[in-house]
Amino acid sequence: MPEHSIAVIPGDGVGLEIMPEGRRILDLIAERYQTELRCTEFDWSTEHYFRTGNMMPSDGVEQLRRFDAILLGAVGHPDVPDNVTLNGLLLPIRRTFDQYACVRPAKLYSGVTSPLAGKAGGSIDMVIVRENTEGEYAQAGGFVYRDLPSEVAVQTSVFTRHGTERIMRYAFDLARQRDRKRLTSITKSNAQGYSMVLWDDTFAAVAKDYPDIETESLLVDAATLHFVRRPEDFDVVVGSNLFGDILSDLSAAITGSLGLAPSANLDPSRKCPSMFEPVHGSAPDIYGKGIVNPLAMILSVAMMLDFLGLKEGAAAVEQAVAGVLEEGETVTPDLGGIAATADVTTAVIAKLTA
């Protein structure tokens, strides 16, 4: 029987509510496809931070190294600055394990209403590929005259030819696997005359190796306009750490809800574990109400299953989610319904076992 080891980090807020739902799907897939998915749970979170002063133990990343994959719920707490939670947990995992490709699909499922008028199910189907280890989130810089009226903050973006080229090759390879074979690069080289010029030059150079892929380069401000104006035109979109982060939230909005947005933080070389998580955060405003949408977590589970080679199970999970959404009878308030979190998962399981 095939075996896979999975590190499970529920985290904070609604992460604690959606992780059990993801585990229900994992248990079913393991049984149905005769594989062993061994889950080990870690309580690393802001509660851990309140107790110890750290989001995870000093050897936390090394504890994760032995796993095949990491499944994360959400991190964040109103009383803890976001830079503490990100730099204390998420970013060290992404960087240490070289999870340089953040992949965020955005699909308008049948039965889901887009805030954009007249968009039919299936008309929007894109994947945001975000560079995940350098760029604007490199945490290079510092403060001068801290807490004084003359305080200065310097934040330096770091773009390397190596980092830029590999994320673009990943995006081109992904575009090759899709029907439309189209790739859009997001830039701002008119204002950022060094980092984004390197980005543009690298994109043009790599594109020569992919003559079968149709390409487009858009300034990020124009991209935000066209995501709303002509979202059907986008297939695979590659952007820097910051631009990919922002545009993936916009793509989730135009396809119905952050509650439908999964993501994968991948080490494509598979030397280190990759991490899978819903795009939404810990949502403290709805935590404990039992109404958080579990589908982003369930779709993240599907992405993890696919990456682990359980492609039939992954496809079955996504098909079940699509079926529940198309019927529209069991959906959470973010999609206009009244269903509870657990009830949505139960509906997905019913589709899987039908």
Do 215 and 297 share a domain, yes or no?
no
Do 166 and 96 share a domain, yes or no?
no
- C-alpha span between 126 and 183 (Å, rounded): 10
E strand or H helix at 264, and its extent?
strand 262-266
Tell me the C-alpha to C-alpha distance, in Å, between residue 35 and each of 26, 66, 309: 10, 19, 11
pLDDT, tens digit (0-9, with 9 covering 90-100), for 174-223: 999 999 999 999 999 999 999 999 999 999 999 999 999 999 999 999 99
pLDDT score for 354: 86
Do 269 and 237 share a domain, yes or no?
no
Tell me the C-alpha to C-alpha distance, in Å, between residue 297 and each of 18, 150, 152: 6, 45, 40
Query: Are the C-beta atoms of 243 and 236 separated by less than 8 Å?
Result: no
pLDDT, tens digit (0-9, with 9 covering 90-100), for 12-36: 999 999 999 999 999 999 999 999 9
Domain assignment present for 107: no
Q: What type of residue is 312?
A: E
pLDDT score for 1: 65
pLDDT, tens digit (0-9, with 9 covering 90-100), for 109-146: 999 999 999 999 999 999 999 999 999 988 899 999 99
| Chain length of the chain | 354
Do 213 and 318 share a domain, yes or no?
no
Do 269 and 247 share a domain, yes or no?
no
Structure-block tokens of residue 103 = 């992949």
Q: What type of residue is 148?
A: L
Structure-block tokens of residue 85 = 């939670």
Do 330 and 350 share a domain, yes or no?
yes
pLDDT, tens digit (0-9, with 9 covering 90-100), for 311-353: 999 999 999 999 999 999 999 999 999 999 999 999 999 999 9
Do 174 and 198 share a domain, yes or no?
yes
Question: In this structure, are strands 152-158 and 36-41 parallel, antiparallel, or unpaired?
Answer: unpaired
Position 11 confidence tier, pLDDT thresholds 50, 70, 90: very high
**Residue of 291, 292, 267 whose CA lies nearest to 280:** 292
Domain assignment present for 301: yes
Q: How far is CA 287 from the centre of its chain?
A: 20
Do 276 and 247 share a domain, yes or no?
no
Domain assignment present for 117: no
Listed in sequence order, the residues at least 6 apart from 285 whose beta carbon sits closer than 8 Å to its beta carbon are none
Of 207, 234, 254, the domain-final residue: 254
Active-site residue set: 137, 188, 221, 245, 249
Of 254, 282, 305, the domain-final residue: 254
Predicted TM-score of the model (pTM): 0.95
Do 152 and 242 share a domain, yes or no?
yes
CA angle 276, 219, 202 (to 5 degrees): 70
Do 233 and 268 share a domain, yes or no?
no
The residue whose two tokens read 């980090």 is 9
Of 254, 283, 312, the domain-final residue: 254
E strand or H helix at 63, and its extent?
helix 60-64
How many domains is the chain partitioned into structurally? 2
pLDDT, tens digit (0-9, with 9 covering 90-100), for 145-181: 999 999 999 999 999 999 999 999 999 999 999 999 9
Do 132 and 200 share a domain, yes or no?
yes
Do 279 and 352 share a domain, yes or no?
yes
Domain assignment present for 113: no
Domain assignment present for 119: no
Question: Based on the number of CB atoms within 10 Å of its own CB, is 300 exposed (0-12), middle (13-18) or buried (19 or more)?
Answer: buried
Mean pLDDT of the chain: 96
- C-alpha span between 76 and 45 (Å, rounded): 8
Pure H helices in 178-290: 195-207, 220-229, 241-254
Domain assignment present for 319: yes
Domain assignment present for 120: no
CATH number where 92 lies: 3.40.718.10
Give the domain range for residue 56: 1-102+260-354
Domain assignment present for 310: yes
- C-alpha span between 12 and 80 (Å, rounded): 11
Q: How many CB atoms lie within 10 A of CB 143?
A: 11
